[in-house]
Chains A and B, each alone.
Chain A
Amino acid sequence: MTALMRYHAALLLRSQRWLPPFLLYAAFLAISIQAGQPVLDSLGYTAAALLPVAAWLARVCVTGEPDAARGCVAAAAGPGRAHVACLLVALAGATALGTLAILVVTLLSDPVASDHSTRVPLAAACGAGLLAALACALLGTAVGALTSRPLLRSPGRAVLALLLAALLSLVATGSPAQAAVQGLVTGSQRGTVPLPLLPLAAAALVMAAALALAGALASRRSP
Protein backbone atom coordinates (compact mmCIF):
# COMPACT_ATOMS: atom_id res chain seq x y z
CA MET A 1 0.00 0.00 0.00
CA THR A 2 2.90 2.36 0.78
CA ALA A 3 4.40 1.77 -2.67
CA LEU A 4 1.03 2.38 -4.31
CA MET A 5 0.54 5.62 -2.39
CA ARG A 6 4.04 6.82 -3.20
CA TYR A 7 3.39 6.12 -6.88
CA HIS A 8 0.08 8.00 -6.85
CA ALA A 9 1.52 10.87 -4.84
CA ALA A 10 4.39 11.23 -7.32
CA LEU A 11 1.91 11.06 -10.20
CA LEU A 12 -0.18 13.84 -8.63
CA LEU A 13 2.74 16.10 -7.72
CA ARG A 14 4.58 15.75 -11.02
CA SER A 15 1.45 16.15 -13.16
CA GLN A 16 0.88 19.59 -11.58
CA ARG A 17 -2.84 19.01 -11.91
CA TRP A 18 -3.11 19.77 -8.17
CA LEU A 19 -2.33 23.40 -8.95
CA PRO A 20 -5.80 24.64 -10.11
CA PRO A 21 -7.72 23.45 -7.00
CA PHE A 22 -4.96 24.80 -4.74
CA LEU A 23 -5.01 28.17 -6.51
CA LEU A 24 -8.80 28.35 -6.35
CA TYR A 25 -8.67 27.70 -2.61
CA ALA A 26 -5.97 30.32 -2.08
CA ALA A 27 -7.93 32.86 -4.13
CA PHE A 28 -11.12 32.18 -2.22
CA LEU A 29 -9.38 32.57 1.14
CA ALA A 30 -7.62 35.75 0.01
CA ILE A 31 -10.94 37.31 -0.96
CA SER A 32 -13.13 36.17 1.94
CA ILE A 33 -10.74 36.32 4.88
CA GLN A 34 -9.11 39.43 6.24
CA ALA A 35 -6.68 39.81 9.09
CA GLY A 36 -8.22 40.83 12.39
CA GLN A 37 -11.61 39.15 11.91
CA PRO A 38 -13.10 36.89 14.61
CA VAL A 39 -11.12 33.65 14.52
CA LEU A 40 -13.96 31.10 14.57
CA ASP A 41 -15.83 32.81 11.72
CA SER A 42 -12.73 32.82 9.53
CA LEU A 43 -11.98 29.18 10.39
CA GLY A 44 -15.55 28.27 9.42
CA TYR A 45 -15.01 29.78 5.96
CA THR A 46 -11.64 28.06 5.65
CA ALA A 47 -13.06 24.64 6.51
CA ALA A 48 -16.15 24.99 4.34
CA ALA A 49 -14.21 26.03 1.24
CA LEU A 50 -11.97 22.99 1.64
CA LEU A 51 -14.81 20.60 0.79
CA PRO A 52 -15.20 21.36 -2.93
CA VAL A 53 -11.41 21.64 -3.22
CA ALA A 54 -11.00 18.17 -1.72
CA ALA A 55 -13.63 16.80 -4.09
CA TRP A 56 -11.84 18.35 -7.07
CA LEU A 57 -8.50 16.99 -5.88
CA ALA A 58 -10.00 13.49 -5.60
CA ARG A 59 -11.26 13.80 -9.16
CA VAL A 60 -7.81 14.97 -10.31
CA CYS A 61 -6.19 11.93 -8.67
CA VAL A 62 -8.69 9.41 -10.00
CA THR A 63 -8.65 10.67 -13.59
CA GLY A 64 -4.94 11.46 -13.80
CA GLU A 65 -3.67 7.99 -14.70
CA PRO A 66 -3.98 6.74 -18.31
CA ASP A 67 -6.03 3.53 -18.67
CA ALA A 68 -3.15 1.33 -19.81
CA ALA A 69 -0.91 2.48 -16.94
CA ARG A 70 -3.77 1.81 -14.54
CA GLY A 71 -4.04 -1.71 -15.95
CA CYS A 72 -0.36 -2.41 -15.23
CA VAL A 73 -0.71 -1.27 -11.62
CA ALA A 74 -4.03 -3.08 -11.18
CA ALA A 75 -2.51 -6.37 -12.35
CA ALA A 76 0.38 -5.99 -9.91
CA ALA A 77 -1.51 -4.77 -6.85
CA GLY A 78 -5.20 -5.42 -7.47
CA PRO A 79 -7.57 -2.82 -8.93
CA GLY A 80 -9.39 -2.16 -5.67
CA ARG A 81 -6.24 -1.51 -3.68
CA ALA A 82 -4.83 0.72 -6.41
CA HIS A 83 -8.01 2.80 -6.46
CA VAL A 84 -8.16 3.13 -2.67
CA ALA A 85 -4.50 4.20 -2.56
CA CYS A 86 -5.23 6.85 -5.17
CA LEU A 87 -8.12 8.26 -3.08
CA LEU A 88 -6.05 8.17 0.11
CA VAL A 89 -3.41 10.29 -1.63
CA ALA A 90 -6.13 12.79 -2.54
CA LEU A 91 -7.31 12.83 1.08
CA ALA A 92 -3.75 13.36 2.32
CA GLY A 93 -3.32 16.26 -0.10
CA ALA A 94 -6.57 17.92 0.96
CA THR A 95 -5.75 17.42 4.63
CA ALA A 96 -2.30 18.94 4.24
CA LEU A 97 -3.74 21.92 2.39
CA GLY A 98 -6.50 22.37 4.99
CA THR A 99 -4.06 22.15 7.91
CA LEU A 100 -1.82 24.78 6.37
CA ALA A 101 -4.77 27.08 5.69
CA ILE A 102 -6.20 26.67 9.20
CA LEU A 103 -2.82 27.50 10.79
CA VAL A 104 -2.32 30.60 8.63
CA VAL A 105 -5.88 31.83 9.17
CA THR A 106 -5.59 31.29 12.95
CA LEU A 107 -2.44 33.43 13.05
CA LEU A 108 -4.09 36.20 11.02
CA SER A 109 -7.35 36.32 12.97
CA ASP A 110 -8.26 38.03 16.22
CA PRO A 111 -8.94 35.75 19.21
CA VAL A 112 -12.44 37.19 19.72
CA ALA A 113 -16.04 36.09 19.20
CA SER A 114 -18.41 37.69 16.67
CA ASP A 115 -19.11 40.60 19.01
CA HIS A 116 -15.40 41.55 18.87
CA SER A 117 -15.18 41.71 22.67
CA THR A 118 -15.52 38.20 24.16
CA ARG A 119 -12.10 36.50 24.20
CA VAL A 120 -11.76 33.10 22.53
CA PRO A 121 -8.77 30.86 23.37
CA LEU A 122 -6.69 30.78 20.18
CA ALA A 123 -5.18 27.29 20.62
CA ALA A 124 -8.57 25.68 21.25
CA ALA A 125 -10.07 27.56 18.29
CA CYS A 126 -7.24 26.32 16.09
CA GLY A 127 -7.86 22.73 17.24
CA ALA A 128 -11.59 23.04 16.50
CA GLY A 129 -10.76 24.48 13.07
CA LEU A 130 -8.41 21.59 12.30
CA LEU A 131 -11.08 19.04 13.23
CA ALA A 132 -13.70 20.82 11.13
CA ALA A 133 -11.29 21.06 8.19
CA LEU A 134 -10.51 17.35 8.48
CA ALA A 135 -14.24 16.58 8.46
CA CYS A 136 -14.62 18.71 5.30
CA ALA A 137 -11.59 17.06 3.64
CA LEU A 138 -13.01 13.60 4.39
CA LEU A 139 -16.45 14.44 3.09
CA GLY A 140 -15.07 16.27 0.07
CA THR A 141 -12.87 13.32 -0.88
CA ALA A 142 -15.88 11.03 -0.48
CA VAL A 143 -17.88 13.31 -2.80
CA GLY A 144 -15.04 13.23 -5.35
CA ALA A 145 -14.75 9.44 -5.08
CA LEU A 146 -18.48 8.90 -5.58
CA THR A 147 -18.79 11.28 -8.53
CA SER A 148 -15.93 10.01 -10.69
CA ARG A 149 -14.65 6.74 -12.15
CA PRO A 150 -15.68 3.95 -11.61
CA LEU A 151 -19.13 5.22 -10.53
CA LEU A 152 -19.64 8.02 -13.04
CA ARG A 153 -17.57 7.79 -16.18
CA SER A 154 -18.96 10.48 -18.44
CA PRO A 155 -17.03 13.67 -17.59
CA GLY A 156 -19.97 16.04 -18.12
CA ARG A 157 -22.32 14.23 -15.78
CA ALA A 158 -19.53 13.59 -13.29
CA VAL A 159 -18.54 17.25 -12.94
CA LEU A 160 -22.17 18.33 -12.60
CA ALA A 161 -22.78 15.67 -9.95
CA LEU A 162 -19.59 16.70 -8.14
CA LEU A 163 -20.63 20.36 -7.95
CA LEU A 164 -24.14 19.49 -6.83
CA ALA A 165 -22.99 16.98 -4.22
CA ALA A 166 -20.36 19.38 -2.86
CA LEU A 167 -22.95 22.15 -2.54
CA LEU A 168 -25.44 19.84 -0.84
CA SER A 169 -22.79 18.58 1.59
CA LEU A 170 -22.14 22.16 2.65
CA VAL A 171 -25.72 23.37 3.10
CA ALA A 172 -27.95 20.35 3.73
CA THR A 173 -28.91 19.82 7.38
CA GLY A 174 -27.52 16.54 8.64
CA SER A 175 -24.37 16.66 6.56
CA PRO A 176 -21.28 16.25 8.79
CA ALA A 177 -19.50 19.11 7.00
CA GLN A 178 -22.46 21.42 7.48
CA ALA A 179 -22.60 20.45 11.16
CA ALA A 180 -18.88 21.09 11.66
CA VAL A 181 -18.94 24.48 9.96
CA GLN A 182 -22.20 25.48 11.67
CA GLY A 183 -20.61 24.53 14.99
CA LEU A 184 -17.77 27.01 14.40
CA VAL A 185 -20.17 29.81 13.38
CA THR A 186 -22.51 29.23 16.34
CA GLY A 187 -19.50 29.02 18.64
CA SER A 188 -18.35 32.38 17.38
CA GLN A 189 -21.75 33.91 18.09
CA ARG A 190 -21.81 32.48 21.63
CA GLY A 191 -18.16 33.00 22.38
CA THR A 192 -17.49 29.29 23.01
CA VAL A 193 -15.14 26.95 21.15
CA PRO A 194 -16.92 23.82 19.84
CA LEU A 195 -15.37 20.37 19.63
CA PRO A 196 -16.69 18.90 16.34
CA LEU A 197 -15.86 15.27 17.10
CA LEU A 198 -19.24 13.90 16.12
CA PRO A 199 -19.24 15.48 12.65
CA LEU A 200 -15.66 14.25 12.20
CA ALA A 201 -16.62 10.68 13.08
CA ALA A 202 -19.62 10.85 10.73
CA ALA A 203 -17.45 12.21 7.90
CA ALA A 204 -14.90 9.42 8.49
CA LEU A 205 -17.69 6.85 8.23
CA VAL A 206 -18.95 8.35 4.96
CA MET A 207 -15.42 8.39 3.57
CA ALA A 208 -14.82 4.75 4.58
CA ALA A 209 -18.06 3.71 2.89
CA ALA A 210 -17.16 5.68 -0.25
CA LEU A 211 -13.69 4.06 -0.35
CA ALA A 212 -15.17 0.59 0.07
CA LEU A 213 -17.75 1.16 -2.68
CA ALA A 214 -15.36 2.75 -5.17
CA GLY A 215 -12.69 0.11 -4.46
CA ALA A 216 -15.15 -2.73 -4.94
CA LEU A 217 -16.43 -1.30 -8.21
CA ALA A 218 -12.95 -0.52 -9.60
CA SER A 219 -12.61 -3.95 -11.25
CA ARG A 220 -16.27 -4.31 -12.18
CA ARG A 221 -16.88 -1.13 -14.11
CA SER A 222 -13.77 -0.71 -16.21
CA PRO A 223 -12.23 0.55 -18.37
Chain B
Amino acid sequence: MRPDLCLRDAGRRYGLRGPWVLRGVDLTVAPGRLVRIEGANGSGKSTLLRLLAGIDALSEGRVTGRPRTAYVPERFPPALPFTAAGYLTHLGTVHGLPRATAARAAGEWLERLGAAAYAETPMARLSKGSSQKVAVAQALLGEPELLVLDEAWTGLDTAARAELERAVAERTAAGGSVVFVDHDPRRLAGLPDATYAVRDAGVVRQEPSRAPDASGPHVLVEVQGPPDGRLPEDVRRTVTSAEETGPGRYRLRVPAPHSDVLLRTLLTARPPWHVVSVTPRTAAPGRHG
Protein backbone atom coordinates (compact mmCIF):
# COMPACT_ATOMS: atom_id res chain seq x y z
CA MET B 1 0.00 0.00 0.00
CA ARG B 2 1.41 3.37 -0.94
CA PRO B 3 1.58 6.07 1.74
CA ASP B 4 -0.76 9.06 1.95
CA LEU B 5 0.20 12.24 0.13
CA CYS B 6 0.72 14.79 2.91
CA LEU B 7 1.30 18.53 2.81
CA ARG B 8 2.57 19.80 6.17
CA ASP B 9 2.56 23.51 6.97
CA ALA B 10 2.90 24.12 3.27
CA GLY B 11 3.20 27.58 1.71
CA ARG B 12 3.71 28.96 -1.73
CA ARG B 13 4.54 32.42 -2.99
CA TYR B 14 5.82 33.64 -6.32
CA GLY B 15 9.20 35.33 -6.14
CA LEU B 16 11.34 35.72 -3.06
CA ARG B 17 9.28 38.52 -1.51
CA GLY B 18 5.90 38.06 -3.18
CA PRO B 19 2.71 37.81 -1.14
CA TRP B 20 1.82 34.36 0.15
CA VAL B 21 -0.71 32.70 -2.14
CA LEU B 22 -1.04 29.83 0.33
CA ARG B 23 0.37 29.40 3.79
CA GLY B 24 0.14 26.95 6.67
CA VAL B 25 -1.65 24.33 4.60
CA ASP B 26 -2.09 20.88 6.16
CA LEU B 27 -3.74 18.42 3.83
CA THR B 28 -3.73 14.65 3.48
CA VAL B 29 -4.90 12.69 0.47
CA ALA B 30 -5.17 8.97 1.19
CA PRO B 31 -5.30 6.29 -1.52
CA GLY B 32 -8.78 5.71 -2.92
CA ARG B 33 -10.07 9.09 -1.75
CA LEU B 34 -11.96 11.71 -3.73
CA VAL B 35 -11.20 15.25 -2.57
CA ARG B 36 -12.97 18.40 -3.68
CA ILE B 37 -11.31 21.83 -3.43
CA GLU B 38 -13.58 24.89 -3.32
CA GLY B 39 -12.89 28.60 -3.27
CA ALA B 40 -13.56 31.89 -5.00
CA ASN B 41 -11.82 32.92 -8.21
CA GLY B 42 -8.19 33.79 -7.56
CA SER B 43 -8.23 32.29 -4.07
CA GLY B 44 -5.35 29.94 -4.83
CA LYS B 45 -7.20 26.75 -5.79
CA SER B 46 -5.10 26.25 -8.89
CA THR B 47 -1.92 26.95 -6.94
CA LEU B 48 -2.93 24.29 -4.41
CA LEU B 49 -3.59 21.80 -7.20
CA ARG B 50 -0.20 22.56 -8.78
CA LEU B 51 1.48 21.92 -5.41
CA LEU B 52 -0.41 18.62 -5.02
CA ALA B 53 0.47 17.60 -8.57
CA GLY B 54 4.15 18.36 -7.95
CA ILE B 55 4.35 20.93 -10.73
CA ASP B 56 5.34 23.70 -8.33
CA ALA B 57 7.61 23.26 -5.35
CA LEU B 58 6.62 24.43 -1.88
CA SER B 59 8.14 27.74 -0.80
CA GLU B 60 7.99 26.42 2.78
CA GLY B 61 6.76 23.30 4.53
CA ARG B 62 7.07 19.63 3.63
CA VAL B 63 5.47 17.19 1.26
CA THR B 64 5.67 13.42 1.70
CA GLY B 65 4.39 10.35 -0.14
CA ARG B 66 4.36 11.74 -3.68
CA PRO B 67 2.57 9.20 -5.92
CA ARG B 68 2.55 8.75 -9.70
CA THR B 69 0.60 11.80 -10.76
CA ALA B 70 -1.38 13.09 -13.71
CA TYR B 71 -2.77 16.59 -14.11
CA VAL B 72 -5.48 18.12 -16.27
CA PRO B 73 -5.05 21.88 -16.64
CA GLU B 74 -7.91 24.32 -16.82
CA ARG B 75 -7.17 25.43 -20.37
CA PHE B 76 -5.29 23.15 -22.67
CA PRO B 77 -3.46 24.75 -25.61
CA PRO B 78 -3.89 23.25 -29.03
CA ALA B 79 -0.61 24.91 -30.10
CA LEU B 80 1.28 21.63 -30.15
CA PRO B 81 2.70 20.27 -33.41
CA PHE B 82 1.27 16.76 -32.96
CA THR B 83 -1.82 14.84 -33.92
CA ALA B 84 -4.07 14.01 -30.97
CA ALA B 85 -3.03 10.33 -31.02
CA GLY B 86 0.63 11.23 -31.50
CA TYR B 87 0.62 13.57 -28.51
CA LEU B 88 -1.19 11.04 -26.32
CA THR B 89 1.26 8.29 -27.27
CA HIS B 90 4.17 10.54 -26.27
CA LEU B 91 2.50 11.40 -22.97
CA GLY B 92 1.70 7.72 -22.35
CA THR B 93 5.39 6.87 -22.60
CA VAL B 94 6.23 9.81 -20.32
CA HIS B 95 3.75 8.25 -17.85
CA GLY B 96 5.86 5.10 -18.08
CA LEU B 97 3.86 2.94 -20.50
CA PRO B 98 5.61 0.99 -23.25
CA ARG B 99 5.12 2.64 -26.63
CA ALA B 100 2.64 0.09 -28.06
CA THR B 101 0.57 0.11 -24.86
CA ALA B 102 0.55 3.91 -24.88
CA ALA B 103 -0.71 4.02 -28.46
CA ARG B 104 -3.46 1.50 -27.66
CA ALA B 105 -4.48 3.37 -24.48
CA ALA B 106 -4.54 6.64 -26.44
CA GLY B 107 -6.99 5.15 -28.93
CA GLU B 108 -9.16 3.69 -26.18
CA TRP B 109 -9.43 6.93 -24.24
CA LEU B 110 -10.16 9.03 -27.32
CA GLU B 111 -12.93 6.55 -28.11
CA ARG B 112 -14.33 6.60 -24.57
CA LEU B 113 -14.43 10.39 -24.63
CA GLY B 114 -16.04 10.48 -28.06
CA ALA B 115 -13.05 11.93 -29.89
CA ALA B 116 -11.88 8.86 -31.84
CA ALA B 117 -12.67 10.67 -35.09
CA TYR B 118 -10.05 13.30 -34.24
CA ALA B 119 -7.22 10.88 -33.46
CA GLU B 120 -5.27 11.79 -36.58
CA THR B 121 -6.25 15.48 -36.59
CA PRO B 122 -3.43 17.95 -35.91
CA MET B 123 -4.02 19.45 -32.48
CA ALA B 124 -3.90 22.97 -33.88
CA ARG B 125 -7.14 22.20 -35.73
CA LEU B 126 -9.05 20.76 -32.76
CA SER B 127 -11.98 22.65 -31.26
CA LYS B 128 -11.69 23.83 -27.65
CA GLY B 129 -13.82 20.94 -26.41
CA SER B 130 -11.90 18.34 -28.39
CA SER B 131 -8.54 19.58 -27.11
CA GLN B 132 -9.94 19.41 -23.57
CA LYS B 133 -10.74 15.75 -24.29
CA VAL B 134 -7.11 15.25 -25.27
CA ALA B 135 -6.07 16.89 -21.99
CA VAL B 136 -8.33 14.53 -20.06
CA ALA B 137 -7.14 11.49 -22.02
CA GLN B 138 -3.44 12.25 -21.40
CA ALA B 139 -4.09 12.19 -17.65
CA LEU B 140 -6.19 9.02 -17.61
CA LEU B 141 -4.21 6.79 -19.93
CA GLY B 142 -1.37 6.32 -17.46
CA GLU B 143 -3.76 5.07 -14.73
CA PRO B 144 -2.18 7.48 -12.23
CA GLU B 145 -2.16 6.99 -8.47
CA LEU B 146 -3.11 10.63 -8.08
CA LEU B 147 -5.33 12.44 -10.57
CA VAL B 148 -5.49 16.22 -10.25
CA LEU B 149 -8.35 17.89 -12.17
CA ASP B 150 -8.40 21.67 -12.48
CA GLU B 151 -11.89 22.37 -13.87
CA ALA B 152 -11.36 19.47 -16.25
CA TRP B 153 -15.09 19.29 -17.06
CA THR B 154 -15.22 22.79 -18.51
CA GLY B 155 -15.68 22.67 -22.27
CA LEU B 156 -16.57 18.97 -22.45
CA ASP B 157 -19.85 17.86 -23.99
CA THR B 158 -22.46 16.07 -21.86
CA ALA B 159 -21.39 12.55 -22.82
CA ALA B 160 -17.71 13.26 -22.15
CA ARG B 161 -18.57 14.85 -18.79
CA ALA B 162 -20.40 11.72 -17.70
CA GLU B 163 -17.52 9.59 -18.99
CA LEU B 164 -15.03 11.63 -16.96
CA GLU B 165 -17.20 11.18 -13.85
CA ARG B 166 -17.18 7.42 -14.45
CA ALA B 167 -13.42 7.53 -14.99
CA VAL B 168 -13.01 9.30 -11.64
CA ALA B 169 -15.12 6.56 -10.01
CA GLU B 170 -12.93 3.92 -11.67
CA ARG B 171 -9.73 5.57 -10.42
CA THR B 172 -10.92 5.75 -6.81
CA ALA B 173 -12.29 2.20 -6.98
CA ALA B 174 -8.85 1.06 -8.16
CA GLY B 175 -7.20 2.71 -5.15
CA GLY B 176 -6.16 5.94 -6.83
CA SER B 177 -6.75 9.36 -5.30
CA VAL B 178 -8.54 12.12 -7.18
CA VAL B 179 -8.39 15.82 -6.28
CA PHE B 180 -10.64 18.14 -8.25
CA VAL B 181 -11.84 21.71 -8.60
CA ASP B 182 -15.05 22.46 -10.47
CA HIS B 183 -17.21 25.54 -10.53
CA ASP B 184 -20.36 23.40 -10.71
CA PRO B 185 -21.36 22.51 -7.10
CA ARG B 186 -23.35 19.52 -8.40
CA ARG B 187 -20.23 17.94 -9.91
CA LEU B 188 -19.85 14.50 -8.27
CA ALA B 189 -22.23 15.80 -5.59
CA GLY B 190 -22.24 13.75 -2.41
CA LEU B 191 -19.30 11.62 -3.52
CA PRO B 192 -16.18 13.42 -2.21
CA ASP B 193 -14.66 11.89 0.93
CA ALA B 194 -13.47 15.34 1.94
CA THR B 195 -14.05 18.92 0.82
CA TYR B 196 -11.59 21.72 1.48
CA ALA B 197 -12.15 25.43 0.96
CA VAL B 198 -9.28 27.75 0.01
CA ARG B 199 -9.82 31.08 1.76
CA ASP B 200 -7.49 33.90 2.85
CA ALA B 201 -4.40 31.96 1.71
CA GLY B 202 -5.38 29.06 3.98
CA VAL B 203 -7.18 25.77 3.51
CA VAL B 204 -10.14 24.85 5.72
CA ARG B 205 -11.76 21.43 5.85
CA GLN B 206 -15.49 21.72 5.24
CA GLU B 207 -18.03 19.78 7.28
CA PRO B 208 -18.73 16.45 5.60
CA SER B 209 -21.57 17.06 3.22
CA ARG B 210 -21.94 13.40 2.38
CA ALA B 211 -25.64 12.88 2.87
CA PRO B 212 -26.77 9.25 2.75
CA ASP B 213 -28.93 10.23 -0.18
CA ALA B 214 -26.81 12.29 -2.45
CA SER B 215 -28.59 14.71 -4.72
CA GLY B 216 -27.03 13.62 -8.01
CA PRO B 217 -28.57 11.16 -10.47
CA HIS B 218 -28.78 7.61 -9.17
CA VAL B 219 -29.13 4.10 -10.50
CA LEU B 220 -31.15 1.33 -8.84
CA VAL B 221 -29.58 -2.08 -9.25
CA GLU B 222 -31.32 -5.30 -8.26
CA VAL B 223 -29.00 -8.21 -7.70
CA GLN B 224 -29.32 -11.84 -6.72
CA GLY B 225 -26.54 -13.66 -4.91
CA PRO B 226 -26.39 -17.03 -3.18
CA PRO B 227 -29.31 -17.37 -0.67
CA ASP B 228 -27.07 -16.66 2.31
CA GLY B 229 -24.81 -14.34 0.30
CA ARG B 230 -23.42 -11.20 1.88
CA LEU B 231 -22.64 -8.18 -0.28
CA PRO B 232 -18.92 -7.86 -1.03
CA GLU B 233 -17.20 -5.15 1.03
CA ASP B 234 -16.32 -3.15 -2.13
CA VAL B 235 -20.02 -3.03 -3.03
CA ARG B 236 -21.01 -1.77 0.43
CA ARG B 237 -18.54 1.09 0.07
CA THR B 238 -19.82 2.11 -3.39
CA VAL B 239 -23.57 2.14 -2.77
CA THR B 240 -25.54 4.80 -0.92
CA SER B 241 -28.09 2.26 0.31
CA ALA B 242 -28.60 -1.49 0.17
CA GLU B 243 -31.98 -3.04 0.94
CA GLU B 244 -32.42 -6.78 1.31
CA THR B 245 -35.64 -7.72 -0.49
CA GLY B 246 -35.37 -11.50 -0.24
CA PRO B 247 -32.87 -14.26 0.53
CA GLY B 248 -29.67 -13.12 -1.16
CA ARG B 249 -31.58 -10.52 -3.12
CA TYR B 250 -30.70 -6.83 -2.76
CA ARG B 251 -31.86 -3.54 -4.16
CA LEU B 252 -28.82 -1.26 -4.37
CA ARG B 253 -28.83 2.49 -4.84
CA VAL B 254 -25.67 3.85 -6.38
CA PRO B 255 -24.60 7.30 -7.67
CA ALA B 256 -24.71 7.22 -11.46
CA PRO B 257 -20.94 7.71 -12.01
CA HIS B 258 -20.26 4.64 -9.84
CA SER B 259 -22.78 2.29 -11.47
CA ASP B 260 -20.29 0.72 -13.91
CA VAL B 261 -17.77 0.17 -11.13
CA LEU B 262 -20.49 -1.46 -9.01
CA LEU B 263 -21.64 -3.79 -11.79
CA ARG B 264 -18.06 -4.77 -12.58
CA THR B 265 -17.45 -5.60 -8.92
CA LEU B 266 -20.62 -7.71 -8.71
CA LEU B 267 -20.06 -9.57 -11.98
CA THR B 268 -16.42 -10.35 -11.26
CA ALA B 269 -17.01 -11.36 -7.63
CA ARG B 270 -16.31 -14.97 -6.64
CA PRO B 271 -18.97 -16.38 -6.97
CA PRO B 272 -20.42 -13.79 -9.35
CA TRP B 273 -23.72 -12.10 -8.53
CA HIS B 274 -26.64 -12.10 -10.93
CA VAL B 275 -27.81 -8.64 -12.03
CA VAL B 276 -31.63 -8.74 -12.19
CA SER B 277 -32.30 -5.15 -13.28
CA VAL B 278 -30.68 -1.75 -13.68
CA THR B 279 -32.90 1.35 -13.50
CA PRO B 280 -31.61 4.92 -13.86
CA ARG B 281 -33.28 7.47 -11.54
CA THR B 282 -32.94 11.18 -12.08
CA ALA B 283 -35.80 12.02 -9.70
CA ALA B 284 -35.25 13.55 -6.27
CA PRO B 285 -33.63 11.08 -3.90
CA GLY B 286 -35.11 9.30 -0.95
CA ARG B 287 -38.41 8.27 -2.50
CA HIS B 288 -37.48 4.98 -4.08
CA GLY B 289 -38.95 1.59 -3.05
Contacts and interface: CB of A to CB of B under 8 A. Distances in A.
A73 B70 CA distance: 8
Nearest to A15: B81
Interface stretch (B89-97, B169-177, B243-251): B89-97
Nearest to A79: B55
Contacts of A75: 53-55, 69-71, 148
Contacts of A68: 73-77, 135
Nearest to A12: B81
Nearest to B83: A14
Size category of the B interface is 20 to 34
A72 interface: yes
Contacts of B75: 68
A6 B90 contact: yes
B23 interface: no
Candidate in A15, A69, A222 with the most chain B CB atoms within 10 angstroms: A69
A90 to B, nearest CB: 17
B55 A69 contact: no
A14 B82 contact: yes
A74 B76 contact: no
B85 interface: no
Candidate in B59, B74, B94 with the most chain A CB atoms within 10 angstroms: B94
Contacts of A73: 91, 94
Contacts of B93: 3, 6-7
Nearest to A1: B94
A219 B12 CA distance: 11
A172 B47 CA distance: 43
Contact of B54 (A3, A66, A78): A78
Given A3-B94, A10-B82, A219-B56, A76 B70 contact: yes
B80 interface: yes
Interface string A53-84: 00000000000011111011111111100000
A15 B77 CA distance: 14
A176 B95 CA distance: 38
A157 to B, nearest CB: 15
Contact of A14 (B71, B73, B81, B139): B81
B252 to A, nearest CB: 35
Nearest to A81: B94
Interface string B111-131: 000000000000000000000
B1 interface: no
A122 interface: no
B8 interface: no
A4 interface: yes
Contacts of B68: 76
A69 B77 contact: yes
Contacts of A67: 77
B199 interface: no
A213 B80 CA distance: 27
6 contacts: A72-B138, A74-B53, A76-B68, A76-B70, A76-B94, A76-B144
Interface of A: 3-4, 6-7, 10-11, 14-16, 65-69, 71-79, 219-220, 222
Interface of B: 50, 53-57, 59, 68-77, 79-82, 86, 90-91, 93-96, 135, 138-139, 142, 144, 148
Given A10-B86, A75-B71, 9 more contacts: A65-B80, A72-B73, A72-B91, A72-B135, A73-B94, A74-B53, A74-B54, A75-B70, A219-B56
